[in-house]
Chain A
Amino acid sequence: MEKLTSWDALKNYREKTCGQTSLLCVGEQDANRVVLAVGEATCGVAAGAKKIADTLQEEIDRLGLKNASIIATGCFGYCYAEPMVEVRMPGKPSVYYGYLTEEAARDIVVKHLVHGQLVENNVLPVEVNIP
């Protein structure tokens, strides 16, 4: 990596790398990206998050969903509902799923990612204001 040597360089870096992050940026390059963010902090991992991430990946590969990627985030604070995953789609509010089992993980890929339907039983009501 090249060192950033000015404030502007930092701003340029921010714009340039946005498409490589787990966050969806506004703009055409991300129009079809889907990101599944699995909470893999200590608590998530202890609740079985790695297995859920593997299951999601297997299902994505099986269905050949090229636009979907999985990333590991930290703790979202909803420990009671671990393991959990956040589904990010461009232009839509995030959907949070909790209490995941391998079956629910497969359902999320098939129903939500492919058909755009919610997996109702696992939806978490998330009310958090990030100012």
Chain B
Amino acid sequence: MTQETAEWTEPAEPAEGYPEIDALFDSLPNKNGALIPLLHKAQEVYGYLSQEIQVYVAQKLNIPAAKVFGVATFYSLFNLEKKGQFKINVCLGTACYVRGAETILAAFEKELGIDQTETTKDGMFTLDSIRCVGACGLAPVVMIDDKVYGRVTPGDVKTIVDEHLGQGGQ
């Protein structure tokens, strides 16, 4: 969960503004506890939490940037680095593990030529594992963005990747 290897370096000057973050901030009735919703929003819009965004959010909430960094690194859903266009998450929950999820992960690694947590050079795919998407009845499952693929076999992996290559680049 904690991204222990993440390092802090002085960020560039914050950009002129992040209108989506401002809009959400203005709409929140209660500014207490707004940090996590703002980070969710920033990641949804910009794909990841750059140091500029973290500093911006800190200024917005009038809290130390260290606190923002502490929260951003605590939760596994927050990315500090840019991810691929499609985020492939192989479920490694218990039900999937018992039904061979590790083999599926190995098949994706081979198909994409990257290891877990890496992104392909063309920026199309990021491969990672996830802890249970709650579709245990269909184990092993793979989640690509919001879509869940069930009863995946190593033979399906190429088809799934090709399907997305076809939609890529929009």
Choose the segment among B49-57, B73-81, B135-143, B162-170 that binds chain A (4+ C-beta atoms closer than 8 Å): B135-143
How many whole Å from B4's CB to the nearest CB in chain A?
32
Interface: B45 (CB within 8 A): no
Q: Mark B83-123, 1 if CB is under 8 A from A, else 0.
A: 00000000000000000000000000000000000000000
Contacting residue for A79 out of B138, B147, B149, CB 8 A = B138
Residue of A nearest to B148 (CB): A46
How many whole Å from B132's CB to the nearest CB in chain A?
12
Residue of A nearest to B136 (CB): A79
Interface: A72 (CB within 8 A): no
Q: Mark B126-139, 1 if CB is under 8 A from A, else 0.
A: 00000001111110
Which B residues lie within 8 Å of A47 (CB)?
138, 150-151
Residue of B nearest to A80 (CB): B137
Which A residues lie within 8 Å of B133 (CB)?
42
How many whole Å from B24's CB to the nearest CB in chain A?
27
Size bracket, chain A contacts:
under 10
Interface: A82 (CB within 8 A): yes
Which A residues lie within 8 Å of B136 (CB)?
79
Q: Mark A43-69, 1 if CB is under 8 A from B, else 0.
A: 101110000000000000000000000
How many whole Å from B143's CB to the nearest CB in chain A?
9
Whether A46 pairs with B134 at a CB distance below 8 angstroms is no
C-alpha gap A47/B149 in the complex (Å): 7
Q: Mark A73-106, 1 if CB is under 8 A from B, else 0.
A: 0000001101000000000000000000000000
How many whole Å from A38's CB to the nearest CB in chain B?
16
Apart from A42-B134, A43-B150, A45-B148, list 13 A-B contacts with CB within 8 A.
A42-B148, A43-B135, A43-B148, A46-B138, A46-B141, A46-B147, A46-B148, A46-B150, A47-B138, A47-B151, A79-B136, A79-B137, A82-B138
Footprint of B on A, CB under 8 Å? 42-43, 45-47, 79-80, 82
The 4 closest A-B CB pairs, nearest first, are A79-B137, A46-B148, A46-B150, A43-B135
